[in-house]
Amino acid sequence: MAWEIVFVFGLLVFAIASFIWERISPDLTALTVFAVLIFVSMVTQSDLLPSLDVTLGVFSNSAPITIAGMFIVSAALERTGGIDLITGYLKKMVKLPYRGFIFVMVLGVAGVSAFVNNTPVVIVLMPVMLSLSRDMGIASSKLLIPLSYASIFGGTCTLLGTSTNLLASGILKESGHAPIGMFELASVGLPVLFCGAIYLVIFGNRLLPHRETLTSILTEEERKEFITEAFIRFDSELHGKVVTETNLLKNRGIRLLEIVRHGIAVPGDPKEQTLQYGDRLVLACRPSGVAEAHSMKGITMQSELAEGLETIATDEGALVEGVVAPQASIVGRTLGEINFRQRFRMVVVAVHRKGTNQRERLSSLRLEAGDTLLMMGSSDAINSLASSDDIIILDRPRLPARSLRVKMPIAILTSTSIVMLASFNLVPIVAAVALGVATLLLTGCLKPKDAYASVEWSILVIIFGMLALGQAMDSTGASQLIANHLTDLVRTFAPTHLEAIFMLAIIYIITSVFTEFLSNNAAVALMVPIALGIAATLGVDPRPFVIASCIAASASFSTPIGYQTNTYVYGVGGYKFTDFTKVGLPLNFIYFAVSVFIIPRVWSF
């Protein structure tokens, strides 16, 4: 075996392990793979490894450009209120019984997700689902997983439904085959959509857990607290003492949320900090605690402020939940680094991440997209936060500004035009998307800076890195080696006339396992070249194998980390990791069985 093949396999193992281990971000893993490939190929001048020009040629692939454009189109539909059209449709169905509502909701959300990026659809509808769950008198956990799954169902029906379809089509085209048609996937996507909807209707209520939202970790009395602020007086005996050594926390009706010094929140546990003259204390007090705080020695409340000090209001504290948005500027930074309290005038009480509630050392916790924050603040602060692009408030739908809502018809017409141009093959899809993006920006549906911010650049980095790795596997013969071993394995137990069917099933299963623990785009970028090699070895048409990879890469139901929409509802719904396995694993089997049955009958080998 040539050293180049061993080297490429080593990179593949590193990428898979890093994706699963999560010590570094997936995009950084992909970037590392890309950089190592370029470096080694330049140093060794190997004939098998792709040259610099060939490796950089991945940037000429039209699929990532198309994907970036669709992020912008989806953002324009979200900002102008185009996605909100489904909100009114769902509110009219709230009087239906649970099973009837789930069926209608799944079909409606899937219909939108077939043409719009899944993530903004779920983000827009999460607050709506929380509101509807209260109106229906059921736990929100009964609706949020079905919401995420419905968006995935829709993504398998069209070429634009998800970035994995566009990526697979691009690789197929680069290999000299016809790209995937706009509605070509619907032949298998629609049957699995209806099977998935029926499964959720029949078994959803029984299998889905009854979970409360993040506010349930607080008692009813804690939810009635007031937020007030006080100064440490310049003659105070509290100066130089650790908070736990004072009487500040002895009253059960008072909690110290934060210490602000020189306008900046003091990092670390506030209970372990040493107090200084002029420190501002942010207190959460139950009604009885407010009076108690006024009687404490060494601190000054609003009614007793000395002349020249800043006026501080005592306001009724409201608890609110929010989710850290994709591409938020606060991702990767701690609450202390962004000075959360001063920036948003809100105090973070708890953070929910990957099934766990965290209430300790919050100031040093680095925020991630999808984190659910339990925050306390005044009504004015909450209203101000509702317009932020960093945090999505969950107790109210996001409403576009009037100036953008009037442009909704333009956004919808542009999206429809992209679909029509690509469907009738009037222009390549990348050209249709590029023209659509230009139209949206020229008509003011989206500002250029907002358009650039809407692109999930980390996903594009993953795509380019995995495309380069797939290219290296192909040029070194690693993909063909895997293909040969898989075909030899199948030939040991499968009859000759069933070899292609068994291989189709194996490709689906491997892609499905990859997508549950890796990026769905990484799974497609790695598996499609192998599928092409297997088809060449068997002497059959590769299209059925590529279609199977597309469906399997999107059908991520068993874990909350395989698909971004699952990650978002994971925290909001208060789910456990095993909740997804319990509900999603049977759905994975349904998708597998239906796909393996239908694909060979529509796309012959």
Quote the mean pLDDT of the chain: 83
Give the pair of three-digit tokens for residue 346.
Answer: 């809100």
Q: Into how many domains does the chain fold?
A: 3
Q: What is the pLDDT of residue 23?
A: 81
> 189-203, 327-341, 505-519, 559-573 — which one is most confidently predicted on average?
189-203
Shared domain for 173 and 82, answered yes or no, is yes
Does the pLDDT at position 71 exceed 70? Answer: yes
Q: What is residue 243's DSSP assignment?
A: G
Strand order in the sheet with 347-353: 356-358, 347-353, 372-377, 318-324, 391-393
pLDDT of residue 339: 79
Indicate whether 603 belongs to any domain.
no
pTM listed for this prediction: 0.79
- 492 dihedral zone (left: phi>0; alpha: psi -120 to 50; beta): alpha
Average pLDDT over residues 238-267: 78
| Beta bridge mates, 316 | 226
CATH number assigned to the domain comprising residue 360? 3.30.70.1450
DSSP assigned state of 373: E
The mean pLDDT of 309-313, rounded to a whole number, is 37
Confidence of residue 302 (pLDDT cuts 50, 70, 90): very low
Looking at per-residue confidence, does 517 or 172 come out higher?
A: 172
The mean pLDDT value for 600-605 works out to 91
- Residue 61: per-residue pLDDT: 84
Same domain (yes/no): 369, 410: no
pLDDT digits (tens, 9 = 90+) for 358-412: 666 676 778 888 888 878 777 777 877 877 778 888 766 665 556 677 888 999 9
Residue 39 is assigned to a structural domain of this protein: no
What torsion do the CA atoms of 111, 112, 116, 117 make, to the nearest 10 degrees?
A: -90
Q: What percent of the chain has pLDDT over 70?
A: 88
For residues 95 and 189, membership in a common domain is answered with: yes
What is the rounded distance in angstroms from the CA atom of residue 132 to the CA atom of residue 140?
A: 8
Distance CA 313, CA 301 (A): 9
Position 36, amino acid: V
Strands (E), 44-181: none
Nearest CA to 581 out of 551, 552, 556 is that of 556
Q: Name which residue leads in pLDDT, 222 or 335.
A: 335
Mean pLDDT over residues 112-132, rounded?
A: 87
- Give the span between the Cα atoms of 456 and 180, in whole angstroms: 23
What pLDDT was estimated at residue 88? Answer: 78
- Out of 4-8, 73-77, 196-200, 278-282, the most confident range is 196-200
For residue 32, tell me if it sits in a domain: no
How far is residue 95 CA from its own chain's centroid?
30
Quick one: angle between helices 543-554 and 499-517, nearest 10? Answer: 30
Is the pLDDT at 247 greater than 80? The verdict is no
pLDDT (mean) for 306-314: 37
Residue 333 phi/psi, 5° resolution? -120, 155
Interval 165-170 mean pLDDT: 92
Q: Tell me if 128 is assigned to some domain.
A: yes
Specify if 58 maps to a domain.
no
Q: Is residue 22 part of a domain?
A: no
Asked whether the predicted pLDDT for residue 425 surpasses 70, the reply is yes
Least confident span in 46-50, 184-188, 458-462? 46-50
pLDDT value of position 62: 87
CA–CA distances in Å: residue 313 to residues 225, 282, 316, 318, 385: 14, 11, 10, 14, 19
What pLDDT is attached to residue 360? 60
| More confident site: 242 or 387 | 242
Residue range 205-236, pLDDT digits in tens = 899 988 665 554 444 444 445 566 788 888 78
Query: Among residues 361, 393, 425, which one ends one of the domains?
Result: 393
DSSP letter string, 249-296: TSSTTEEEEEEEETTEEPPS-GGGPBP-TTPEEEEEE-HHHHHHHHT-
DSSP-H helix ranges across 443-542: 448-454, 457-476, 478-491, 499-517, 520-538
Q: Count CB atoms within 10 A of the CB of residue 143.
A: 26
Neighbours of 383 (CB within 10 A): 12
Q: How far apart are CA 320 and CA 579, in angstroms?
A: 25
For residues 138 and 130, give the distance between their C-alpha atoms in angstroms, rounded to a whole number.
10
pLDDT at 314: 43
The last residue of a domain, from among 432, 454, 476: 454
Strands 226-232 and 315-316: antiparallel
pLDDT on residue 81: 83
Q: What value, to the nearest 5°, has the Cα angle with vertex 603 and ends 598 and 605?
A: 110
Q: Say if CB 248 and CB 285 are below 8 A apart.
A: no
Tell me, yes or no, whether 231 and 205 share the same domain: no
Rg (CA), the chain: 27
Give CA–CA dist 312/301, Å, rounded: 8
3-state secondary structure of 60: helix
Indicate if 283 and 202 belong to the same structural domain.
no
- β-pairing verdict for 254-261 and 264-265: antiparallel
**Percent of the chain at pLDDT above 90?**
31
The whole-number pLDDT of residue 471 equals 87
Per-residue model confidence as pLDDT tens digits over 248-259: 776 656 778 778
Show the domain range for 147: 65-212+402-454
Closest CA to 240 of 264, 215, 275, 269: 275
CA distance 160 to 167: 10
Q: Are both 241 and 374 inside the same structural domain?
A: no
Q: Is 14 exposed, middle or buried (0-12, 13-18, 19+ CB in 10 A)?
A: middle
Q: What are phi and psi of 344, to 5 degrees?
A: -110, -5
pLDDT at 512 over 80: yes
What is d(CA 370, CA 568) in angstroms, rounded to the nearest whole number?
A: 5
C-alpha closest to that of 163 among 55, 37, 69, 76: 69
Model confidence at 582: pLDDT above 90: yes
pLDDT of residue 435 exceeding 90, the answer is yes
In a domain, 151, yes or no: yes
Residue 539 has a CB neighbour count (10 Å cut-off) of 8
Say whether both 179 and 281 belong to one domain: no
Same domain? 239 vs 203:
no
- 205 and 140 within one domain: yes
Instruction: Say whether both 82 and 159 belong to one domain.
Output: yes
Out of 140-154, 207-221, 316-330, 559-573, the most confident range is 140-154
pLDDT of 124: 84
Kindly report, residue by residue over 2-45, the tens digit of the pLDDT.
Answer: 888 899 999 999 988 888 887 888 889 999 999 999 998 888 88
Can you read off the two tokens belonging to residue 73?
């189109």
Q: How far apart are CA 357 and CA 372, in angstroms?
A: 9
Q: Which of 301, 316, 331 is the last residue of a domain?
A: 316
Residue 598 pLDDT:
96
Which pLDDT score is estimated for 354? Answer: 65
Specify if 285 maps to a domain: yes
Residue/partner pairs of 459-462 with CB below 8 Å, 24 or more apart: 459/27, 459/67, 459/163, 459/519, 459/521, 460/64, 460/67, 460/68, 461/27, 461/30, 461/31, 462/26, 462/27, 462/29, 462/30, 462/519, 462/521, 462/522
Mean pLDDT of 313-328: 69
Position 143 scores a pLDDT of 92
- Cβ atoms of 376 and 318 within 8 Å: the answer is yes
Residue corresponding to tokens 């909701």: 105
Residue 345: per-residue pLDDT: 78
Residue 243 predicted with pLDDT over 70 = yes
Q: Average pLDDT, stretch 524-538?
A: 89
Given pLDDT bands bounded at 50, 70 and 90, which one contains residue 431? very high
256 - beta bridge partners? 283
C-alpha distances out from residue 247 to 243, 253, 254, 555, Å:
8, 12, 11, 56
Q: What is residue 401's predicted lDDT score, i.e. its pLDDT?
A: 55
What count of residues does the chain have? 605
Q: Which amino acid is at 340?
A: F
Phi and psi at 324, nearest 5°, equal -70, 120
89 with 205, same domain: the answer is yes
Helices 26-44 and 457-476, packing angle to 10 deg: 40
Judgement on whether residues 362 and 444 belong to the same structural domain of the protein? no
The answer to whether 283 and 230 have CB atoms below 8 angstroms apart is yes
pLDDT of residue 305: 39
Distance CA 215, CA 421 (A): 47
